[in-house]
Amino acid sequence: MSKRAKKNEQEAGDGDHDNGTAPAAKKGKKVKEPEAPILYSDPPDKMNSKDGRAANMKITSWNVDGLRAWVKKKGLDWVRDEAPDVLCLQETKCAEKSLPDEITSMPEFPHKYWAGSDEKEGYSGVAMLCKTEPLKVTYGIGKEEHDKEGRVITAEFPTFFLVTAYVPNSGRGLVRLDYRKTWDVEFKAYLSDLDKRKPLVLCGDLNVAHEEIDLKNSKGNKKNAGFTAEEREGFNQLLAAGFTDSFRELYPEQANAYTFWTYMMNSRSKNVGWRLDYFVLSSALLPGLCDSKIRNQAMGSDHCPITLHMVV
């Protein structure tokens, strides 16, 4: 391989979450054979906690990248099969009045909560759909500055809080990294405050790959949104505040486990991806943790869904 080609393979483009592979080879140049995608084995869901109790709460989280398109691509069929107790969605990109009937009328989830962007229509937005009614539902993190983009919904259940979040992307050229750093600080403070009242589950697109193992091209992406030192440190600080990355807790060595692949350059078929979606748990909930799964077969978005089984 030429020096230049090697460089390309590690460089990232100026986009966010780029996979860093070279662009289409020039005509006449030798092209690398397509390799078999490197996946990881997917054992059956563990339905019991370490201390032997049976899971009684199933939560699924999915960045749908445009709810309307995702519904057309039959994302809800997958959800019906998965049948979680709570479904959390990020990047719905849809005003409440424009939601498809198929989801607003879904009988499996009688309790539905929507947060949209105040300013920009079709931007950001999260949702939480529940089988049973939460005690209370709140929107945002209680900071005017951060609550205009429909990024957080918090539901209080008898024994825990469930927070779903779509963390701000730092953007191409890291144009929004400064804002993201503020967000990370204030969001962690919000979660710490909640945690003092009741343990919590945080799920959603946290827009960071924590460690090198959490993305394919770690080398080439150190200056790109989602893998900067600042964003990774933000995640470190969250864990230091007493929270746990449930997937990594259960599968500390598992490589090639991703939840996002850019639509560009056939990244998904090559499993050139990032782990950006998480279930993060208060330490008090760890004894009830049964499994934390990545459903990388489910299509309909550039992210795949993740599912948590726990005892609450």
Partner DNA sequence: CTTGAAACG
Partner DNA sequence: CGTTGCAAG
Q: Which member of 22, 69, 177, 213 binds DNA (CB under 7 A)?
A: 69
205 is in an annotated binding site: yes
Taking CB under 7 A as the binding criterion, the range among 31-39, 86-94, 128-136, 152-160 that sits at the site for DNA is 86-94
Q: Which residues are CB-neighbours of 81 under 8 A, at least 6 positions away?
A: none
207 known member of a binding site: yes
Task: Decide: is 95 part of the binding site for DNA (CB under 7 A).
Answer: yes
166 among known catalytic residues: yes
Q: Are 42 and 247 in contact (CB under 8 A)?
A: no
- The answer to whether 208 and 226 have CB atoms below 8 angstroms apart is yes
When binding is defined by CB under 7 A, the residue of 20, 66, 84, 234 that contacts DNA is 66
Q: Which residues 99-138 are close enough to bind DNA by CB under 7 A?
A: 121-124
Closest to DNA by CB, 10 or 266: 266
DSSP string of 216-234, one letter each residue? S-TGGGTTSTTSSHHHHHH
Per-residue CA distances from 207 to 17, 103, 119, 130, 227 (Å): 9, 25, 21, 24, 9
d(C-alpha 307, C-alpha 295), whole Å: 7
As a whole number of angstroms, the distance between CA 89 and CA 18 comes to 23
Residue 253 in marked binding region: no
Options 46, 53, 68, 131; binder of DNA; rule CB under 7 A:
68
Element (H, E) at 238: helix 229-240
Concerning whether 205 is annotated as a catalytic residue, the answer is yes
Could you tell me how many helices (H) and strands (E) the chain has, helices first?
A: 7, 12
Q: Is 15 in the site for DNA (CB under 7 A)?
A: yes
Looking at residue 54, what DSSP letter applies? B
Binding mask 264-283 for DNA (x = CB under 7 A): xx------------------
From candidates 49, 59, 87, 93, binder to DNA by CB under 7 A: 93
List, by residue number, the catalytic residues: 166, 205, 303
Residues that bind DNA (CB under 7 A): 15-17, 65-70, 73, 91, 93-95, 98, 121-124, 168-169, 171-172, 176, 262-265, 302
| Annotated binding-site residue numbers for Mg(2+) | 63, 91, 205, 207, 302-303
